[in-house]
Amino acid sequence: MRLRAFLLPGAVLLFVLGLPLVPFDARVYVMQELTLLFLYAGLAQSYDLVGGTLGYINLGHIVFFGLGAYTVGILFNVGVPLAAGLLAAIAVAAAFAAVVSIPFFRLRGAYFSLATFALVKLMEQIANNLRGLTGGSSGLKILAENRVVPTYYAMFGLLIVAVVTTLAINRSRLGLGMKSIREDEAVARDFGVPTMRIKAQALMISSAFPAVLGGLFVWYINFINPAEVFGLKMALQPVAMAMLGGSGLAIGPLLGSTFLYGLEEFIWTRFEHLHGAMLGLIVVLVGLFMPGGLARLRPVERLLERLGLKEDDQ
């Protein structure tokens, strides 16, 4: 069973690492598509720490992506190296998460979700108004350079770190506290669980990954604007992917992001008029007919069990 659990991840690892070394006509296109897939999968995986393990549906997760993108972009334009910019992005996102966790985690259920979504629109307006720093609605540009291969590897490496972090937290004391809050926060508090501290820690940890992904994103495409990094599609994407795959399971966001990204590409090329409504439709349909996500469907469970990748429900 342990050997089987390494076969599929090992095959994927070899494919991803070897792809840039194999010359074929569509190599750059495939790498660009996989880079975006790694980006969305990383966002979904990091979102699920709060949305799945903790049980708070955070519609504002993409705020940390935008903060990271603007932090790296602004610092890069004044000569700060990428690595230092990414560390600064993590610090900014974590500090922001610590501050907003105090008022936001006093809310529950739909009130928390609505407040976090309102935060996205607030940050979009702030980015539009701070033209001297962000370029406003015209966007922020950085010096152009071909960075397809390094970004491809960096996005994939960060996705692996996000998955490993999720697995480690799910098996840790912090993870146990997060799950107890998800199941019944009042009971957890009565039994001495420091609920506010754990919620703040979960949000700060989950903020680090989108901050780095945002920094890599602006370094990759050389341009961002508020409507892009704080847009509705970016806000709903990680939520829809985690819910579709199976929220609360480490494998869930990976399944959901792979399936949904492939479906998006199919719809985009054949039914473009349906593309804008797809994310909202998927969230509604999953909630109504498949609340456990793909990973909890019996045929998928059996397949994951044969591959040695099946997880116990967290």
**Number of domains, the chain:** 1
Contact indicator for 294, 244 with CB cutoff of 8 Å: yes
Q: Is residue 312 part of a domain?
A: no
Question: What average pLDDT is seen over the chain?
Answer: 89
- Residue 224 DSSP SS3: strand
**According to the model, what pLDDT value does residue 1 have?**
47
Q: How far is residue 227's CA from residue 136's CA, in Å, rounded to a whole number? A: 10
Domain-located, residue 167: yes
Pairing of strands 223-224, 140-141: antiparallel
Contact 93, 208 (CB under 8 A): yes
- Start-to-end C-alpha separation, the chain: 20
Name the residue type at position 209: F
Residue 255: which of 240, 267, 266 has the closest Cα? 240
244 located within any domain: yes
Token readout for 202 is 């979960």
Per-residue pLDDT of 107-129, as tens digits, reads 988 999 999 999 999 999 999 99
Residue 44 lies in a domain: yes
Q: Cα(50)–Cα(57) distance, rounded to whole angstroms?
A: 7
pLDDT tens digits for 199-244? 999 999 999 999 999 999 999 999 999 998 998 888 988 998 999 8
Contacts of residue 74, Cβ cutoff 8 Å, sequence gap at least 6? 133, 134, 140
| Of 14 and 285, more confident | 14
Asked if 263 and 91 touch (Cβ cutoff 8 Å), the reply is no
Q: Report yes or no on 297 lying in a domain.
A: yes
In a domain, 102, yes or no: yes
Give the H or E element holding residue 271: none
So what's the pLDDT on residue 271? 61
What is the pLDDT confidence band of residue 264, given thresholds at 50, 70 and 90?
Answer: confident
- Asked whether residue 311 is domain-assigned, the answer is no
Q: What is the pLDDT of residues 86-107, one digit of tens each?
A: 999 999 999 999 999 999 999 9
Tell me, what's the pLDDT at 254? 92
**pLDDT tier at 282 (50, 70, 90 boundaries)?**
confident
Is the pLDDT reported for residue 314 higher than 60?
Answer: no
Tell me whether residue 313 is in a domain.
no
Which domain range does residue 120 map to?
Answer: 2-306
Q: What is the mean pLDDT of residues 134-140?
A: 91
- CA dist 156 and 150 (Å) reads 10
